Structures are given as structure tokens and as C-alpha cells.
Amino acid sequence: MNVKVIKIGENLLAENDKIAGANAELLRHNGIASFNVMGTPGAGKTALLESLIPELNRKFPCAVIEGDIAGTFDSERLKKLGIPIVQINTAGACHLEAFMLQKGLEHLSLGGLKILFVENVGNLVCPAEFTLGIMKNIIVSSVTEGDDKPAKYPLMYKISHLCVLNKTDLLDLSTFSPEKFNAYAKEINPALEIIPVSAKTGENIDKIVTWITNAVRVV
């Protein structure tokens, strides 16, 4: 008897890519620049959005789609900024998929928006595998994670356009080597831009604002 092999993973990813294409088209059609903010739990993804959005929103109306396994903690934090926020709870899934973003987009009025931030589920692995149809990938790393992360999670650094290295205010308290981190990351992705910041003190946040502004201008 022949054994029939069903490659579920491949089919799922093909279906995901199809929906991601539709998401990208919808965002492009509305002239919205989109950013997929990824990183480990606690890297400072929400903190980064809290410091960026007040600067950006004056010129470019922002919205956020928040991805979490459960709860609305991050949405509650961002609500203060007075921008549209949609919370997606993945019910256990450790990453966002294109169909989830598609659902989230249905709950936003896209006309007039200029920037969409998607905060992915905190995870360095599968968010890198599932394309969502978003323009730019941002990996938020932090000094407390250690300098070896690009070498251990290469796909995430390979697919990212910008690496925000957060928590530079803690550099003196740790053994983190920015030189090692940069070398590992650049070996995987020579084009990756790495900007060290402190979302807590505001150090270099202006550089991220500039990077995002430049990306918005080409949409």
C-alpha cells in the first residue's frame, strides 16, 4: 500500500502568503506604511511604541494592531495615546498569521491613516516565518537578552529591516557586548540597520522616528 504524505506546513504557509498579499495590497491602496514589530517578551516593543507614537502621530496618523496570546495589557497602555487600537488575542498561537491581521484590518477605518504598527506576539521564532503583508520588519532586541541572540535566532535578524537595540541604559550593569551583537547580526544580514536606544530615557528615539519617517515618505 502506498503511503500518502500530506505536507500540512507547506499548504498552510502558501495559504498564509496569499492572504498576506491581499493585506499588502489593501495597505498600499490606502497609502499606509506598515511596520511589524517583533521581539522576545519583555524586549520593550510596547515601550518603544509608547515613545515613538506621540512624535509620529502629529504628522502621520498612527494606529496599532496588538497581538497577544491573551489579555489587553499592551492595548490598555497604548490607549492613553488616543489612537485607534485593535487587540488580537491568538488563543494560544505564539505568532500572528496573515488571516489574523486581515481580521484586525477590518476593524480599523483605513482612510486617513498613515502608519500602522503591528505588535506581534513576543517570540523570536515563528513570527519570522509567517509573512503578514507588512512593509517593514522591526526586531526589538534588548541588552538584557544577551548579545548572542542574532546567532541563535538567525531568521528573525535575516528578515528584519531595522534592529532596535533597547535598554542601553542597562549596558553598564551587564556583560552585553554591542560589538559582538553587531557582528553576529551583520554576519546574518549585512543590510540590517542597528540603532541602540533606551525607550526608558529616550536616548536615540529621534533616530527611530527619522528611520520610520523616511520609510513613510516612500509609500
The count of residues interacting with Mg ion (CB under 5 A) is 3
Q: Which of 24, 81, 126, 219 binds Zn ion (CB under 5 A)?
A: 126
Residue 2 in grid coordinates? 502506498
- How far, in Å, CA of 140 to CA of 44, rounded? 7
95 binds, among Mg ion, Zn ion, none (CB under 5 to 8 A by kind): Zn ion
List the single partner that 94 binds among Zn ion, Mg ion, none, CB under 5 to 8 Å by kind.
Answer: Zn ion
Residue 151 CA, chain-centre distance (Å), reads 19
Least distance between Mg ion and beta carbon 58 (Å): 23
Choose among Mg ion, Zn ion, none what residue 45 binds, the Cβ cut-off being 5 to 8 Å by kind: Mg ion
| Binding residue for Mg ion, selected from 39, 52, 64, 74, defined by CB under 5 A | 74
Q: CA-CA distance, 87 to 51, in Å (whole number)? A: 19
Answer whether 130's CB lies under 8 Å from 159's CB.
no
The option from Mg ion, Zn ion, none interacting with 145 (CB < 5 to 8 A, set by class) reads none
Burial track 72-110 (b if 16+ CB lie within 10 A, e otherwise): eebbeebeeeebebbbbebeebebbbbbbbbebbeebeb
Q: Single out the segment in contact with Zn ion by CB under 5 A; choices: 8-16, 92-100, 140-148, 158-166.
A: 92-100
Q: Which three cell numbers stand for residue 153?
A: 535566532
* Rama region for 114: left / alpha / beta (φ>0; ψ in -120 to 50; rest): alpha
CB 12, min distance to Mg ion, A: 26
**Residue 47: closest CA among 195, 197, 157, 193:** 197
Residue 22 contacts Zn ion per CB under 5 A: no
Compare residues 123 and 142 and give the one whose CB is closer to Zn ion: 123
Nearer to Mg ion, 74 or 147 (CB): 74
Q: Which backbone phi and psi does 187 adopt, to 5 degrees? A: -65, -35
Binding Mg ion (rule: CB under 5 A), the pick from 45, 95, 149, 167 is 45
95 binds Zn ion (CB under 5 A): yes
For Mg ion, the nearest residue by Cβ is 46
Dist. CA 182–CA 190, nearest whole Å? 10
Closest CB to Zn ion among residues 38, 63? 38
Q: Which is nearer to Mg ion, 104 or 189 (CB)?
A: 104
Where on the chain is the footprint of Mg ion (CB under 5 A)? Answer: 45-46, 74
Where on the chain is the footprint of Zn ion (CB under 5 A)? Answer: 94-95, 126
